Amino acid sequence: MAFLFLPLSVLTTATWLLILPIVMHLEIRFDVYSIKGVLSIVASLAINFVLGYELYTYDTDQILSPDFAGVIPSHLVEFSVTRLNLTTAFFSSVLFTAIIFYSWKYMRWETLLDDNGTYKLYYYFLMFTSFMGFQVIVFSNDAFLLFFGWEMMVVPGYALVAIRPTRHAARASYSYAIISSIGSIFMLYGISMIYQLTGTFNLDIAATMIASADLSRDFSAWFAIVMITIGVGVTAGFIGFQTWIPDAYSAATSPVGGFVSGTFTIAALFAYNNLILRLFSPVVFDYSWLFIVGGLATMTVGNFGAVVQRDVRRILGYSSIGQRGYILYGFGLVSLATSAGTELLGLTEPMVVVIYFAIGFTFLEGNLFLIIGKVLYVAQFEVNSRDIIDLRGSLSNTPHTAMMMILSALGLAGIPPTIGFSTKIMLLFIAGESGVDWWFILLFLLNSIVALIYYSNLLRILLFTKREDPLDMSMSPGTVNTAIFLVSIICILFGLAPIVIISMF
Amino acid sequence: MTDLIILPPLLLGLLSYGFTLWKGSFKIKEKVGSGLAILSSGLSLVFSLLSIGVRGRKDSLLPPWISVGDIEIRLVYYLDAWSLTLAIVSSFLTLLIAIFSKYYFGVNSHSAVYYGMIQMFLFGMLLLVLSDNLVFTFFGWEIVGICSWFLIGIYHYKGGEEGKKASLAGQKAILVTGLADVGFLLALTLLGAESSNISSIETLPAVAAIGLIVASFGKSAQFPLHIWISSTDRVDIDAMQGPTTVSALIHAATMVNAGVYLTARVISIGVGEEISQFILWVGIISAIYAGMSALGTGDLKRVLAYSTISQLGFMFIALGTLGSFAALWHLVNHAFFKALLFLIAGYLIHSVGSRRLDDLRGSVRSWWLKASLLIGAGALAGFPLLSGFFSKDLILELLVEDANWLAYGFTIFAVFLTGAYSFRILRILLGEGEQGHEDVVPKFTLISLAGVVLLSSGSYFLLIQFPWEHTPAILSLNLYMLVSVVVSLLGMIVGYYHDRLSAPSFFRVLIQEGFFVDETLVGLSVGIVTSVSKLMSFIHSRTSFWNFVQFTTATVTIAIAYYIAQYGGYF
DSSP codes, A375-420: HHHHHTTTT---BTTTTTTTTTT-HHHHHHHHHHHHHHTT-TTSHH
Task: Give me the total of CB pairs closer than 8 Å, taking one residue from chain A and one from chain B.
Answer: 176
CA pair distance A141, A308, nearest whole angstrom: 43
Least Cα separation, residue B70 to chain A (angstroms):
5
Residue A34: pLDDT over 80: no
Contact by Cβ (8 Å): B514, B232:
yes
Q: What is the mean pLDDT of residues A347-354?
A: 86
Residues of A in contact with B67 (CB under 8 A): 499, 502-503
From chain B, the residues in CB contact with A345 under 8 A are 68-71, 193
Query: Residues of B numbered 172-231 whose beta carbons fall under 8 angstroms of chain A's beta carbons: which are they?
Result: 174-175, 178-179, 182, 185-186, 188-193, 207
| pLDDT value of residue B469 | 46
Q: Are B423 and B496 in contact (CB under 8 A)?
A: yes
Distance of alpha carbon A503 from its chain centroid, rounded? 21
Number of residues written out for chain B? 571
A465 HSE (CA, 13 A, CB side): 21
Q: Which of A219, A399, A452 sits opposite B20 (nearest CB)?
A: A399
SS3 content of chain A, % helix, strand, coil (to 5): 75, 0, 25
Radius of gyration of chain B (CA): 26
Residue B57 has φ and ψ, to the nearest 5°, of -75, 140
Q: Is the pLDDT of residue A135 over 90?
A: yes
Contact residues on chain A for B190, CB-CB shorter than 8 A = 432, 438, 441
Do residue A453 and residue B530 have CB atoms under 8 angstroms apart? no
Instruction: Name, in order, each residue with C-beta under 8 angstroms of B169's C-beta and a sequence gap of 6 or more.
Output: B152, B153, B228, B237, B238, B239, B240, B241, B242
B 102-131 residues inside an 8 A Cβ radius of A? 113
Query: In the prediction, which pLDDT does B465 show?
Result: 47
What sign does the CA torsion over B530, B535, B538, B539 have? Answer: negative
**CA dist., res. B148 & res. B249, Å (int):** 10
Q: ∠ at Cα B25 (B21, B29), nearest 5°?
A: 60
Find the CB nearest B66 among A226, A422, A464. Answer: A422
3-state secondary structure of B109: coil
Of B146, B186, B530, the CB nearest to A410: B146
Q: Is B508 on the interface with A (CB under 8 A)?
A: no
Residue A422: its chain B contacts at CB < 8 A? 65-66
> Which residues in A lie closer than 8 A to residue B530 (C-beta atoms)?
307-308
Q: How many helices, marked H, and strands, marked E, lie in chain A?
A: 18, 2
Nearest to B178 among A305, A396, A452 (CB): A452
Are B553 and A240 an interchain contact pair (Cβ–Cβ within 8 Å)? yes
DSSP one-letter code for A311: B
Whether B546 and chain A come into contact, CB under 8 Å, resolves to yes
Whole-angstrom Cα distance, residue B351 to residue B355? Answer: 10
Question: Using the beta-carbon criterion (under 8 Å), do B550 and A432 form an inter-chain contact?
Answer: no
Q: What is the pLDDT of residues A356-366, one digit of tens each?
A: 999 999 999 99
Contacts of A439 in chain B (CB under 8 A): none
Q: A355-376 b/e with 16+ CB inside 10 Å = b?
A: bbbbbbbbbbbbbbbbbbbbbb
Say if B366 is an interface residue toward chain A (CB within 8 Å): no
Helix (H, G, I), strand (E, B) or coil at A337: helix
Best of A310, A415, A427, A468 to mutate (most B CBs within 10 Å, chain B): A415
Residue B21 has its nearest CB partner, among A243, A399, A446, at A399
Percent of the residues in chain A that have a pLDDT greater than 90, as a whole number: 32
B381 burial (CB, 10 Å; 0-12 / 13-18 / 19+) is: buried
Q: Does B80 touch chain A (CB under 8 A)?
A: no
Residue pair B428/B358 in contact (Cβ under 8 Å)? The answer is no
Determine the straight-line distance between the first and last CA of chain B, rounded to whole angstroms. Answer: 73
In angstroms, the Cα distances linking B21 to A111, A164, A397, A399, B35 are 32, 35, 11, 6, 17
| Residue pLDDT tens, chain B, 571 long | 788 888 888 888 888 887 777 777 888 888 888 889 899 999 999 998 888 877 888 888 888 888 887 888 888 898 888 888 888 889 988 998 888 888 888 788 888 888 988 999 999 999 999 998 889 999 999 999 999 999 998 888 888 888 889 999 999 999 999 999 999 999 999 888 777 788 888 888 888 899 999 999 999 999 889 899 888 888 888 888 888 889 888 888 889 999 999 999 888 888 888 899 999 999 999 999 999 888 888 888 888 999 999 999 999 999 988 878 888 888 888 888 888 888 888 888 888 888 888 788 877 777 788 888 888 888 888 887 778 887 888 888 888 888 788 888 999 999 999 988 888 888 888 877 665 566 666 666 677 677 777 776 666 555 554 545 444 545 556 777 788 888 888 888 888 887 666 667 787 788 888 788 888 888 898 899 889 888 888 877 776 677 777 777 777 776 776 666 666 544 4
- Single-letter residue type at B228: W
Across the interface, whether the CB atoms of B561 and A307 are under 8 A apart is answered: no
Q: What gap in Å lies between CA B100 and CA A371, rounded to an integer?
A: 37
Predicted local confidence at residue A299, as pLDDT? 92
pLDDT band at A469 (very low <50, low <70, confident <90, very high): confident
**CA quadruple A231, A237, A243, A245: dihedral sign:** positive
First CA to last CA across chain A, in angstroms? 30
Residue A488 has pLDDT above 50, yes or no: yes
Q: Is A493 exposed, middle or buried (CB count within 10 Å of its CB: 0-12, 13-18, 19+)? A: middle
| Cβ-proximal residues to B235 (8 Å cutoff; 6+ apart), any chain | B518, B519, B522
Q: Are A499 and B64 in contact (CB < 8 Å)?
A: yes
Shortest distance between the Cα of A11 and any Cα of chain B, in A, equals 32
**pLDDT band at residue A249 using 50, 70 and 90 as cut-offs:** confident
**CB atoms B207 and A438 under 8 Å:** yes
Closest CA to B442 of B28, B118, B100, B112: B100
For residue B254, the 8-state DSSP code is: S
For chain B, how are helix, strand and coil distributed in percent, rounded to 5? 75, 5, 20
Q: Do B570 and A428 count as a contact with CB atoms less than 8 A apart?
A: no
B160/A466 CB distance under 8 A: yes
pLDDT of A11 strictly over 80? yes
